[in-house]
Structure 1
Amino acid sequence: MKTISYTICAIMAAGFALSGNAEVKPKSKKVTELKYSGRIQAQWDGVGSDDTSSKEDRNHFYFRRLFLGGHAKLGDNWGGDIVMDFGASPNKDNTVFIDGASVWYQFDDSFRLDIGQIKVPFGMEETTSSSKLKAIERSAVNRQFAESLKFNARHTGLFVKGSLDGGFSYNLAVVNSGQNHNSKDSNLKDGLYGYNNNELSYYGRLAYANYDSDLRHSFGVSAGLMETDETLANELTAYNIYGSIGSGPISLDVEYMKGTADITAGDEEHEGYSAQISYALNNAPVGAWEFLYRYSTVEGTPTGSSLISAKEIVRRANIVNSTVDELNQHYFGVNYLFDGHDAKLMVGYEMNELNEGTASADADGFRARVQILF
């Protein structure tokens, strides 16, 4: 019932906003800017596996994301944002997923404070908007840290960011240890090592970027400490190094992640990287072509501990062995941008090799997505 009500409200709000005879006004007269946003990503997955199982190979259309958001500003310093996802897969209890929500204060470009639920500053690909990703799904190493460990992605707490002189920038966060569906303890997401719901976690990133040079380049380093369930691990620490370089139509993006779970019996480590090269062809009749290849790998030690979540990394595949020692992933993609990221079609072929001891299995297939932003 909640989902139906939210959906009806969203449709009505959009209809009134588009109607020539209707006028949308903020409740507060102090609001100086009010806008809404939307993101529709319709997707098809055709992923198969040679894993012996009674499950069928995936052949399915669905909505990957259905975003509707509102954004308000009160003068130059205060504001608030809320974005809801009506298509999020975790909504088994028929609630709407909070993609992001915060109240913010911005003094100037060097200091902005957010209080709410947004993504912590860890992972280049994870903190890149899904609307601007070149591959349909994020890389294997990224999904291990964000989806299996629940280390990064969305948390609730305090966030500070700003731009510094010379192209440098910083991000800091002090947040709840549990990854969020919302801020209630009972609804936080429980990763491989759980979380301590009465402790905080800490993240920081320092980055540099120069996009005006003939040789575009950026790089950054980030680190985090997550307080875990003490019966599983004392804490989880990780760091991330990334870089991007480009010239003309060619771009190369690389990132590395390593995390260590402090366990009394012996530390467990998660380590991997991704490398992506892309080429843009802008002389299409309408829009632009984009071609890319990405390789990503992630492994866990000690070997034999089955620390890598194949089920979380390879979305919607019929994998029996949900955890493995190592996962290697190849992705080949072709995108057509009709109007930049506002309207684009993405097609990709994904190849996954799952290694568990001396055994291995493959999970391969096509994915396709059409995206509209407004």
Structure 2
Amino acid sequence: MISVRPSILRQQPTLVRSLALLVIVAFSALPAVGQDSGALIDALIRKGILTNQEAEDIRADLVRENNTIPAHAVGGGKATDRLSVGMRMQIQYANIGTEIKGNATKPVPTDQAFLRRMYLTLKAGVGGNWGAVFTYDFASGYYDDAIVEWKPTPDLAFNFGLRKVNVGYEERASSGNLKSIERSGVTRYFVEGNNGRRLGAASYRIGAFLDGKKELTSTLNLVYSAALTDPERSDNFADASASGDASTNHIALWGTAGLAGKLANNGTWIAGAGVGHMPDRGGFGTTNFGRGFDLTLYSVFFDLQMARFGLMAEYLAADVDRGVSATRDAKPAGYFIQPSLLLTDTIEAVVRYQYLDTDGRGVQLPDTFRSAPSGGTMNTYSEWYAGFNLYLRGNDLKFQLGAHAGKTKDTVTGAPAEAKAVGVRSQMQVQF
């Protein structure tokens, strides 16, 4: 046995700390001893092997060791200099029923729990301000982003691939930050896939995108975007991989411009407008693409966050060549207003009103009110939403609950009619 006097150890403080840390880590690997290395450190102090300062340094080293990620994500490419993995999981429950005026028979109500989103996101950098983002949604079998990004300056970014265009402010906003569980029915009508009523404008496109910002003053910035894309919406592998035909062999043009400002107490606001022109994506029904009927989308938006109060609003309109019939165009328009108020640091109240006039193109309740049973084709839609959000860990862990009351009126044939959908929706979200 070899013994070492404490006095000799004190003359070599670096060696002492290294040996003591080695012993403590070795003992901590044993289940019985590893539950508390503090007792071992205290014993070394009492025997005079460690000073109080040396013990504190060792404790700090142990904390750093314990906080180290045990496994590292490593990119496959030699040029990869960073790689991150993210996830968003949203679980919903919806209970919604529909009534049709003058009809005693009610459609079967929705009463179901389901996975709304299950995103897996990979982000990588390959140096030189170049990188890539890919997001796949296991819940829907589609993907969200698949882009190569070049960011030559902090205020200028170029994206190449699949993503959402900026025209349609609410649609472009992250689904993880929505205050009303679902986006407005007005947004859904203009941007989700064309089914002969909805327009399929904005949202996912494949092309080249530019996003920029220019500082005007210390509290005011000019924000802008532009894009050249395929004219059709692409939100699945089949659409995104198609080589094109007569209905898709044109370039859609997109652009937005606005002002973004800073307010006292970390308040912010943004206001702007956007336009998108999609050749050969107009017409009525779903069989007129590529026949010379164009679609143009317009957006005006405002978003304010001031202390505990928030306000988001957007107006959307479109020119749809022959959008109603072979002889009649359509000019649908709609808007929503959504105020919110933080009642406490973790509880937020949200209210939203929205209204849509399809100008004869037609709308059914499921086109605008997600999960609602259909009540027939009408011309206008309106809805009230009221709910609250419980921020357990900000947007990374939150619970949302809301009540909807939506109504469609007046059939496109002119006969008076009305259908109402009423229900509740809840959502639990976890993301990292």
TM-score of the aligned structures, taking structure 1 as reference length: 0.84
Partner of residue 14, structure 1: none
Structure 2 residue 162 is the aligned partner of structure 1 residue 111:
no
Structure 2 residue 247 is the aligned partner of structure 1 residue 196:
yes
- The one-letter amino acid paired with 2:108 is E
Structure 2 residue 149 is the aligned partner of structure 1 residue 100:
no
- The one-letter amino acid paired with 2:354 is S
**Separation in 1, partners of 2:213, 2:405:** 39
Secondary structure of the structure 1 residue equivalent to 2:189: helix
Does 324-333 or 245-254 show the bigger shift? 245-254
- The one-letter amino acid paired with 1:308 is V
- The one-letter amino acid paired with 2:406 is N
- The one-letter amino acid paired with 1:174 is L
**Which has the greater radius of gyration?**
2
For the 8 Å contact 1:45–1:58, the answer to whether it is kept is yes
The 5 A counterparts of 1:259-338 are 259-263=318-322, 265-283=327-345, 288-301=346-359, 305-321=360-376, 323-338=377-392
Change (3 A) 1:187 1:332: farther
For the 8 Å contact 2:379–2:409, the answer to whether it is kept is yes
Partner of residue 134, structure 2: 82
**Separation in 2, partners of 1:60, 1:184:** 29
Partner of residue 393, structure 2: 339
Aligned with residue 81 of structure 2, among 29, 32, 37: 32
Does 48-57 or 264-273 show the bigger shift? 48-57
CA apart distance, 1:23: 4.3
- The one-letter amino acid paired with 1:282 is T
The 5 A counterparts of 1:172-211 are 172-182=226-236, 184-185=238-239, 196-211=247-262
- The one-letter amino acid paired with 1:160 is L
Structure 2 residue 167 is the aligned partner of structure 1 residue 122:
yes
Indicate the structure with greater helix content. Answer: 2
Aligned with residue 270 of structure 2, among 209, 218, 228: 218
CA apart distance, 1:266: 2.9
Partner of residue 8, structure 1: none
**Separation in 2, partners of 1:26, 1:138:** 35
> Which string of whole-angstrom CA distances, capped at 9 and with x for unpartnered residues, describes residues 73-104 of structure 1?
1225100000000012xxxxxxx311111011
Secondary structure of the structure 1 residue equivalent to 2:110: coil
CA apart distance, 1:63: 0.4
Partner of residue 153, structure 1: 203
**Separation in 1, partners of 2:313, 2:154:** 27
Secondary structure of the structure 1 residue equivalent to 2:92: strand
**Separation in 1, partners of 2:225, 2:277:** 15
The 5 A counterparts of 1:18-57 are 22-51=71-100, 52=103, 55-57=107-109
Aligned residues: 337
- The one-letter amino acid paired with 1:208 is L
Aligned with residue 236 of structure 1, among 295, 299, 304: 295
Structure 1: state its 5+ residue gaps: 1-18, 89-95, 189-193
**Separation in 2, partners of 1:333, 1:270:** 28
Structure 2: state its 5+ residue gaps: 1-67, 193-197
Change (3 A) 1:183 1:116: farther
CA RMSD of aligned residues (A): 2.3
CA apart distance, 1:36: 0.5
> Which string of whole-angstrom CA distances, capped at 9 and with x for unpartnered residues, describes residues 290-332 of structure 1?
001000111111xxx34224322111221141x3200001100
Secondary structure of the structure 1 residue equivalent to 2:367: helix
- The one-letter amino acid paired with 2:114 is Y
Indicate the structure with greater strand content. Answer: 1
- The one-letter amino acid paired with 2:356 is V
**Separation in 1, partners of 2:239, 2:132:** 23
Change (3 A) 1:22 1:153: same
**Separation in 2, partners of 1:85, 1:217:** 31
Change (3 A) 1:329 1:75: same
For the 8 Å contact 2:263–2:306, the answer to whether it is kept is no
Secondary structure of the structure 1 residue equivalent to 2:177: coil
- The one-letter amino acid paired with 1:205 is T
- The one-letter amino acid paired with 1:275 is I
